[in-house]
Amino acid sequence: MDGVKVRNYAALLADKLSAEGDDASAQRLRKILDARAVQLHPTRVEQHAPPPVDGESRFPLVEKVEIPESVNRHLLTESQRTFVEDYLSVVRSRAELEQKGISSGTNLLLYGPPGCGKSHLAFFIAKELQLPLYMARLDGLISSFLGSTAKNIRAVFEFASRMPCVLLLDEFDAIAKLRDDQQELGELKRVVNSFIQNMDGLGRDITLIAATNHEQLLDPAVWRRFQYLLHIDLPNLEQRDAFWELFSEGLNWSSKELKVLADLSEGFSVAAIEGAANRVKQQMITRQTKPNLNTAVTALSSLVRGESSTKAVLSSMRLDEPHALAERLQKRNPQIYSLSVVGEITGLSKATMSRHAGNGRSKRKEK
């Protein structure tokens, strides 16, 4: 019997009993664990086995991820919340489902554009399950000695199977590419085979989540190993508003300013919104300036090239053409884009914006 695994699962049960208000039972179980510590751990190892390392570089193959307090359900879309609630109910009922002869596979694949919250969703699932989250380090997993990569994959799965946890495989396409890719070596194809074999041998106690930005690269056999698939797209308007509020702590945006930022960040990833908000915070300190729409929108515009989406609103707008910008924004949404708001976006006063607007109308009449 694997003593470390027994102790880990018993400790999880004690924590759940405490969470449910049964402190007496939890305390009795913990006393039994303390009393049996010598038998369960004759070498007095720590409760959690140390993470595996690559045999060549000694680089860690797995790292524990601390889940940030900011992870919460209101950052998900309604459809994502429904999907996750159904998924969590199956994970929590795996034992009951198996007893009734119903398949209880819970491997989850998240795919979509980069920077759109796939990792955030994995964090949220781990938080809801009250389980530690471990992330496979692909920079250590893929060894320069290709024959060692299969061993590393096996070591990661064996480590995760010894304790209740969520195992996250980020940038999953790096180890699960199409086996008919002519540019790949035969050894890399054997790595994919090894990965599939390890997935097939997973116990029901591992909650496996994989994430990829390049789902088109995945081998079809890998897709079939995931019982749950979820496409994570660019954030919608409601999400963008929530993410701006989340990342703008201390900036004190008004609700109207948040609506403007949420609208103008259409087509941008969550990572870009966070980056723009951080840029505003940096300038508050380095330039001793107050946060304003011009700083935020300028920061967002500078990130357009780094985005995979061609639908970014700001990609077709120029802040140095105020009259044209005012016309486009007011046509886009007259309720939130007054001349004073457009002026704040461009860094100009309302009076100056009025003159630009008037000049623009005059030029059109002359034509």
pLDDT one-digit tens code per residue, 283-328: 999 988 889 999 999 999 888 877 765 567 787 787 778 778 888 8
Residue pair 75/239 in contact by the 8 Å Cβ criterion: yes
Spatial separation of the C-alpha atoms in residues 278 and 280, rounded to whole Å: 5
Structure tokens at 314: 């700001």
Inform me whether the pLDDT recorded for 365 exceeds 60.
Answer: no
Q: pLDDT at residue 32 above 50? A: yes
Read off the tokens for 203.
């116990």
- In sequence order, the 6+-apart residues with CB closer than 8 A to the CB of 13 are 29
pLDDT digits (tens, 9 = 90+) for 339-355: 889 888 988 777 777 77
Predicted local confidence at residue 256, as pLDDT: 93
More confident residue, 81 or 190: 81
Specify the range with the lowest mean pLDDT, choosing from 29-38, 298-307, 358-367: 358-367
Strand 133-136 and strand 165-169: the pairing is: parallel
Amino acid in the structure at residue 362: S
| Three-state SS at 206 | strand
How many CB atoms are located within 10 Å of the residue 56 CB? Answer: 12
Burial class (CB in 10 A: 0-12, 13-18, 19+), 126: buried
pLDDT confidence of 185, banded at 50, 70, 90?
low
Nearest to 212 by CA among 90, 116, 80: 116
The string of DSSP codes covering 103-157 is: -----EEEESSTTSSHHHHHHHHHHHHT--EEEE-HHHHS-SSHHHHHHHHHHHH
Q: In what order do the strands lie in the sheet with 206-212?
A: 62-65, 133-136, 165-169, 206-212, 108-111, 228-231
How far apart CA 170 and CA 116 sit, in angstroms, is: 13
Q: Regarding predicted confidence, which is higher, 207 or 319?
A: 207
Domains parsed from the chain with CATH numbers: 1-45 (no CATH), 48-231 (3.40.50.300), 237-366 (no CATH)
**41: pLDDT strictly greater than 50:** no
Q: What is the mean pLDDT of residues 55-64?
A: 85
How does DSSP classify residue 182? T
Helix axis angle, 293-301 relative to 270-286, nearest 10°? 130
Three-state SS at 137: coil
Give me the residues paired with residue 62 across strands: 136
